[in-house]
Structure 1
Amino acid sequence: MSRPGGSRPKIRSPRGLLLFGIFLLFAGIVAVVIAAAAPEVLPNGGAIGAGIFIFIIFGGLGLAAVIMGAKRIRWKREYVKVTGHEPWQ
């Protein structure tokens, strides 16, 4: 019997957390690009300042998620090697 949610990656899994972190980093970069492309929206560099602020938020969270995901992948490999089964079953 299949479980609801199927096999899509979740933040709970290391791979899902890694993908979520990459998505957040990408979202921060897109925010800076959009802000740089529209400097006339806020005069005196306000748009680029807002874009950089959004990048710091999304980029920081994304970087933290990428680091945690990478460490959890290593931890999961070691866990499976020691116990012989997946940790989240």
Structure 2
Amino acid sequence: MNRGLADSNIDYLVWMNKAEAERTLQDWRDGHRLELVTESTTHTAAARVEYRDAVNSVHYVDTITGLNIDISAGSLPTAEAATTFLHRANLMN
């Protein structure tokens, strides 16, 4: 994650809770707006990137490790910046 955070002033919250990560991923799969969710190739991790009117939020969960990340709205200027962060942090493949 340090590589993803190195170039930006990103406000984020990180915590570990496997049950919550599993529940969140299932909610995303069952919910609406599936186009906002990108799952890893193993389907054990996913990110939900919402971007509208220059306000964005990024949520990431990993059901194996229990890693949960919430990045504050507005910390990343565009959806592309959010995707770049996820790749540079080696969270999404």
The TM-score normalised by the length of structure 1 is 0.24
Bigger Rg, structure 1 or 2: 1
Between structures 1 and 2, the one with greater helix share? 1
Between structures 1 and 2, the one with greater strand share? 2
